[in-house]
Amino acid sequence: MKTGTPLVSRSGVELRYSGYDVLVIGGGIAGLTAALGAANRWHVGLITKGALEETTTFLAQGGIAAALGEYDSPDLHFKDTLEAGAGLCDEEAVRVLVEEGPARVRELEKLGAKFDRRGGKLILASEGAHSVPRVVHAGGDATGSVVASALAEVCLSGGRVELHEHEFVVDLLMDEGRCVGAVSLDAEGTLTVSLARAVVLASGGAGQVFAHTTNPLVATGDGQAMAYRAGAVLRDMEFMQFHPTALYAEENPTLLLTEALRGEGAYLLDGAGERFMVGAHPRAELAPRDVVVRHMKRVMERDGIGHVWLDARHLDCAFLRERFPTVYQGLLARGFDLCHEPIPVAPASHYFIGGVLTDGWGRTNIPGLFACGELASTGIHGANRLASNSLLEGLVFGERTVRELNRYLAVSDPAVRKVRLGLADEPRAGNDAALVAETRQELRNVMSDLCGIVRSRDGLEQAAQRLAELEAVLVPPALKVAELELFNLLTVARLMVQSAMVREESRGVHLREDFPERDDVAWRCHVLVQRADESGSPSITVQPLSGGAGR
Ligand code: SIN
């Protein structure tokens, strides 16, 4: 069969066919890095559900953390990452991240990402929980778009990587327990069956599970949900990191006000105009993110307000405009003046620490299925990610996934025996569009209210009940992106709630008011979930951290 040959499925849906050595799903920094590296040896296709400019990477502001400074070292970066990670980092994986990171950043610069320099030297920014300035950035606070554009340009030059934008992956294709491709849906409703000898999942996070998020609309946890359906092990799904300073506004996504603003000296103020982080933590506004969020939450409750203030009025206005053009212009467009008024900010879901369990080479428990970037759980973030370690993660583990792909493809059996598409025999009518939109909004509210920054058994039980009720009124989805996304959101939300219920302690980004203390005796553990049976119900296990005492 030739690539592009149209076929018709039993339900009458038109199918197209493609074949690759490597199929990458996701067009952020990890997906682009993996695709670019793999394309040196293999025929590579890259599918992304939106445009490349719509990824979370593209929106990233702060930068990339790497030990490139005179007074820095991988050892120091290692120590800071572990400290922020609240006792749950995988030290071996962190070692890889900090040791290999500087070389990856230099390579990225050679590829064309122009990082900000002064007098020829990289400018390194401060961010929360870093003990030295360590964050390289580009275009001031436009790091993500600069980096993503540079990678995309090289990927696409000379047709190295076959790019398919606006292509929604419905499911992974499996053959006798091995992943052999994916089936995807384009904007016209045509399905494509992409067979591949290896699939790299790099489809990012799931911030859209919550009502207030910095993540783009596309961040609906599709990769986590499809990996779960395929039988992958997912880990620590209870850990969603909330960014302290997102604009307090009814917008989706909401504007991020990069942590680098606090790195340059901006303050957090309570309702009375006091700097509440001074005295709360030795690093004040630059405490680890989970610590800042906890204090914000306390202050907001005490003062009876839905936000605190980020104040940069004491900083030089020309500097602010030049260093933070995205934030400055973004605020101006919404009627706020960063130079002359404090800005209302509240925590927003920002980075999904939990995800598909991988080893240090992007391998999942499913042969042929690799994962990297935010979607993956490598263990580098522990229970609270150190700021600006995520773009670095995409670079380092995207590249390591390529090295593993080269080994795997050299020996793997290319023959595909039988693939089940898992499509319904008859086309489905699906759910009414208004119901789909309402349910999505309700799910986000339920998750923010009952499984958000602060959790409790009662709240989590209510959340589980509400999610079940929302699901109960839906019929199986038609082949429409909005419906398929909703079912993926429901899957991820359910796994998050169930995992959050299991972890009976407060650690990093997971705060239980009924178990307010970190419990290193019982809970230096990971929570693993895997689909148990066809009904989709999860089997949950608790696994002591290697080297940890366990429960
Ligand atoms: C930021 O710019 O504050 C975001 C950086 C990050 O999430 O690592």
Buried b (16+ CB within 10 A) or exposed e, 415-432: ebeeeebebeeeebebbe
104 has catalytic annotation: no
Q: Is pLDDT above 70 for 536?
A: yes
What average pLDDT does this structure show over 316-339?
98
259 lines ligand 1 (CB under 6 A): yes
What is the pLDDT at residue 3?
Answer: 47
Predicted confidence band at 9 (pLDDT cuts at 50, 70, 90)?
A: low
pLDDT per position as a tens digit, 42-57 = 999 999 999 999 999 9
pLDDT per position as a tens digit, 243-287 = 999 999 999 999 999 999 999 999 999 999 999 999 999 999 999
Ligand 1: nearest atom to the Cα of 389: 8
Q: According to the 3-state scheme, what is the secondary structure of 169-196?
A: EEEEEEECCEEEEEEEEECCCCEEEEEE
Cβ atoms of 382 and 84 closer than 8 Å:
yes
Cβ atoms of 78 and 102 closer than 8 Å:
no
Predicted confidence band at 423 (pLDDT cuts at 50, 70, 90)?
A: confident
Ligand 1: nearest atom to the Cα of 391: 8
> From ligand 1's centre to the CA of 433, what distance in Å?
34
What is the pLDDT at residue 47?
Answer: 98
How crowded is residue 525: how many other Cβ atoms within 10 Å of its Cβ? 22
Report the nearest-CA residue for atom 8 of ligand 1.
Answer: 388
> From ligand 1's centre to the CA of 318, what distance in Å?
22
pLDDT per position as a tens digit, 280-307 = 999 999 999 999 999 999 999 999 999 9
What is the pLDDT at residue 535?
Answer: 75
pLDDT per position as a tens digit, 138-186 = 999 999 999 999 999 999 998 899 999 999 999 999 999 999 999 999 9
Beta strands in 314-448 (DSSP E): 343-352, 355-357, 369-371, 376-377
203 lines ligand 1 (CB under 6 A): no
> From ligand 1's centre to the CA of 104, what distance in Å?
19
Mean model confidence pLDDT for the chain: 94
pLDDT per position as a tens digit, 485-512 = 999 999 999 999 999 999 999 999 999 9
388 lines ligand 1 (CB under 6 A): yes
Q: Is pLDDT above 60 for 551?
A: no
Report the nearest-CA residue for atom 2 of ligand 1.
Answer: 62
Question: Sign of the C-alpha dihedral, residues 175, 177, 181, 187?
Answer: positive
Q: What values do phi and psi take at 415, rounded to 5?
A: -75, 135
> From ligand 1's centre to the CA of 62, what distance in Å?
5
263 lines ligand 1 (CB under 6 A): no
Q: What percent of the chain has pLDDT over 90?
A: 91
User: Across the strands, what pairs with 396?
Assistant: none
Count of alpha carbons within 13 Å of 3, Cβ hemisphere only?
Answer: 10
383's CB contacts (< 8 A; 6+ apart) are: 85, 86, 87, 88, 236, 239, 290, 353, 507, 508, 509, 510
Q: How many residues are present in the chain?
A: 551
> From ligand 1's centre to the CA of 160, what distance in Å?
31
387 lines ligand 1 (CB under 6 A): yes
258 lines ligand 1 (CB under 6 A): yes
pLDDT per position as a tens digit, 83-132 = 999 999 999 999 999 999 999 999 999 999 999 999 999 999 999 999 99
User: Across the strands, what pairs with 267?
Assistant: 311
Candidate list 289, 494, 503, 512, residue with the active-site label: 289
> From ligand 1's centre to the CA of 365, what distance in Å?
30
pLDDT per position as a tens digit, 383-403 = 999 999 999 999 999 999 999
Ligand 1 pocket: which of 61, 80, 130 to mutate (most atoms <8 Å of CB)? Answer: 61
What is the pLDDT at residue 158?
Answer: 85
Ligand 1: nearest atom to the Cα of 388: 8
390 lines ligand 1 (CB under 6 A): yes
Distance CA 242, CA 207 (A): 9
DSSP string, 195-256: EEEEEEE-----GGGSSSBSS-TT-S-HHHHHHHHHT--EE-TT-EEEEEEEE-SS-SSPPB
Q: Is pLDDT above 90 for 547?
A: no
Q: Is pLDDT above 50 for 416?
A: yes
